[in-house]
C-alpha cells in the first residue's frame, strides 16, 4: 500500500477533485440553470399572460438543442466542457413563484419580482459549472482514476456516434425518446389555460416536488442489488406503463371536459382538486419515464465515452419532440388533439420499449462497448477491479480488440 492510502484501503483524495465535490457542482448547476428554467416554464406560458411568445421561444430553444445535442458527444470528448442534471431547482423555483404570487387569484401573468428572482438564480449557475474539474483530474475514493478513451480524431468520434445510432435497440427506443420531451408543451399549456396565476404557481411547485420524489424512488429501485438487472428492467417497465398510461387516459378525459366549459380555476374552488391531481400525476410520472429511459440506455455500455454519445442521441431526439410539441402549441392546435397526440405517442412507444426490455437487457456488462472496441472503465456493479483494468491496459495500447461480444 502506498504512503497516500489509509489502512482501510481508501486513497487520500483532494477535496476539490473528489467525486462528492463533482457531484455537488453538477447538482448545483442543474439546480440553478435547467431546474429554474423548468420552474419558469412550469407556470404555463413562461409565467406570462399569453402563451404565444413562450411557445415560439421554446420551439426555437429546443430546435437548437435538437441539432446541437447530436454533436456534443464527439465534441465533449475533445474539449471536455462542463455539463449538468436537474429537478430540485424546478421545485424550489415553483415555491418562489408561489410565494411571490400567492394573492394573484386571477388569470394573467406572474409579477416582475418572480422573473427577477428566478433569473438571478439562473445566473448563479455559471460559476458552478466552471469549477467542475475535467474527468482526468477526478480522484475516486479507492484510488482509481476515471478512464476516458478519446478517438484519434473528431471524425473518428462521429464514426462511433454513427455506429451507436445504427443499433436496432436505439431505433426501437426512438418513439419513447421523442415522447419523453414532447409532453412538456401540452402539460405547461394545460396549467396556463385553466388555472389562476397563484394556482398555476402551486401546481408548478407540486409538479416538480412530486417529480423529484418519483425520480429518487425510481432510481433507488433501478439501482437496487436485491434483484438482477433484467428483473429490475421488467419491474420498471411495468411501473412506467401503468402510471404514465393512467395519467394520460385520465388527463384526456379531464381535458375533454375542460374544453367544453373553459374554466379558470383557483385553489379555493371545489373543482380545483381534479385538475390539480391530473397535473400532479403528470409531474410524478414524467420523471419515471426519463429516469427509467436513461438507466436502460446506460445499461448497454460501460464505456464512459460512449455514454456521452448515447446521451447526445437521446437529448437530440428528445429535443426534436419538444420542438414539435411547442410548434403544435404555437399553432393554436386544439387542446383535445394536443393531449391525444401525447397519449398516442406514449402507447406507440411501448412495443419497442418492451422488445428492448424483454430481449436485449442483460444482467452484466463485461467491460465492453457498443462500437466493438475495448473498455476498461465502467459504472455497473459487475465492474472489474483495478487489477483487471491494469491487465487489459497493455492490450488496449496495442489496439487489441476485446473478445467480449458487443451489444
Domain membership of residue 407 (yes or no) is no
Domain presence at residue 139: no
117 inside domain: yes
**Cell numbers 411547485: residue:** 205
Residue at 404 is within a domain: no
Domain assignment present for 3? no
User: Would residue 309 count as lying in a domain?
Assistant: yes
CA distance 120 to 139: 32
Q: Residue 370 is part of a domain; what is its CATH number? A: 1.20.1250
Helix (H, G, I), strand (E, B) or coil at 368: strand
| Chain position carrying cell 438487472 | 229
- Domain assignment of residue 291, given as a range: 15-130+146-397
**Closest to 150 measured CA to CA, from 366, 300, 304:** 304
Question: What is the number of domains present in the chain?
Answer: 1
Asked whether residue 5 is assigned to any structural domain, the reply reads no
Does any domain span residue 405?
no
- pLDDT tens string, the chain, 407 residues long: the values are 444 443 345 567 777 777 777 777 777 777 666 656 665 555 544 444 455 555 455 455 545 554 555 555 544 444 433 333 444 545 555 555 555 555 555 555 556 666 676 677 777 777 777 777 776 777 777 767 766 666 555 666 677 777 787 888 889 999 999 998 888 888 888 988 888 888 888 888 888 888 888 988 998 899 888 889 899 999 999 999 999 999 999 999 999 999 998 888 888 888 888 999 999 999 999 989 989 998 898 888 777 777 777 877 887 888 787 778 778 777 778 889 989 999 999 999 999 999 999 998 888 765 445 555 444 444 444 433 333 333 434 443 333 333 333 33
3-state SS record for 90-129: HHHHHHHHHHHCCCCCCCCCCCHHHHHHHHHHHHCHHHHH
Whether the full predicted model's pTM is greater than 0.75, yes or no, is no
Within 8 A by CB and 6+ apart from 255, the residues are 190, 335, 336, 339
Alpha-carbon distance of 130 to 216, in angstroms, equals 27
Amino acid at each position: 500500500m502506498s504512503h497516500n492510502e489509509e489502512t482501510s484501503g481508501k486513497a487520500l483524495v483532494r477535496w476539490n477533485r473528489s467525486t462528492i465535490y463533482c457531484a455537488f457542482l453538477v447538482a448545483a448547476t442543474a439546480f440553478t440553470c435547467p431546474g429554474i428554467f423548468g420552474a419558469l416554464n412550469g407556470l404555463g406560458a413562461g409565467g406570462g399572460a399569453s402563451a404565444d411568445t413562450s411557445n415560439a421561444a421554446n420551439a426555437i430553444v429546443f430546435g437548437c438543442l435538437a441539432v446541437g445535442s447530436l454533436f456534443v458527444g464527439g465534441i465533449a470528448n475533445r474539449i471536455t466542457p462542463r455539463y449538468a442534471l436537474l429537478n430540485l431547482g424546478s421545485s424550489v423555483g415553483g415555491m418562489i413563484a408561489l410565494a411571490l404570487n400567492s394573492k394573484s387569484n386571477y388569470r394573467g401573468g406572474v409579477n416582475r419580482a418572480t422573473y427577477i428572482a428566478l433569473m438571478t438564480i439562473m445566473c448563479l449557475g455559471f460559476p458552478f459549472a466552471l469549477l467542475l474539474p475535467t474527468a482526468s483530474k477526478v480522484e475516486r475514493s479507492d484510488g482509481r482514476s476515471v478512464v476516458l478513451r478519446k478517438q484519434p480524431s473528431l471524425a473518428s468520434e462521429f464514426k462511433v456516434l454513427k455506429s451507436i445510432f445504427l443499433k436496432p435497440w436505439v431505433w426501437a427506443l426512438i418513439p419513447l425518446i421523442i415522447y419523453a420531451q414532447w409532453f412538456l408543451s401540452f402539460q405547461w399549456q394545460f396549467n396556463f389555460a385553466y388555472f389562476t396565476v397563484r394556482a398555476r404557481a402551486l401546481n408548478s411547485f407540486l409538479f416538480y416536488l412530486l417529480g423529484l420524489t418519483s425520480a429518487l424512488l425510481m432510481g433507488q429501485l433501478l439501482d437496487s442489488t436485491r434483484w438482477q438487472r433484467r428483473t429490475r428492467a421488467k419491474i420498471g417497465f411495468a411501473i412506467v406503463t401503468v402510471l404514465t398510461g393512467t395519467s394520460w387516459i385520465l388527463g384526456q378525459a379531464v381535458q375533454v371536459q375542460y374544453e367544453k366549459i373553459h374554466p379558470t380555476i383557483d385553489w379555493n374552488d371545489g373543482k380545483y382538486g381534479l385538475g390539480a391531481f391530473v397535473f400532479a400525476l403528470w409531474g410524478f410520472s414524467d420523471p419515471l419515464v426519463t429516469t427509467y429511459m436513461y438507466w436502460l440506455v446506460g445499461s448497454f455500455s460501460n464505456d464512459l465515452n460512449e455514454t456521452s454519445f448515447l446521451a447526445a442521441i437521446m437529448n437530440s431526439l428528445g429535443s426534436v419532440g419538444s420542438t414539435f410539441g411547442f410548434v403544435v402549441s404555437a399553432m393554436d392546435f386544439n387542446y383535445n388533439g394536443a393531449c391525444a397526440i401525447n397519449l398516442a405517442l406514449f402507447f406507440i412507444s411501448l412495443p419497442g420499449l418492451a422488445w428492448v426490455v424483454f430481449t436485449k437487457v442483460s444482467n452484466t456488462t463485461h467491460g465492453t462497448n457498443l462500437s466493438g472496441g475495448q473498455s476498461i472503465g465502467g459504472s455497473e456493479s459487475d465492474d472489474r477491479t483495478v487489477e483487471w483494468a491494469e491487465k487489459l491496459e497493455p492490450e488496449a495500447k496495442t489496439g487489441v480488440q476485446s473478445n467480449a461480444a458487443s451489444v
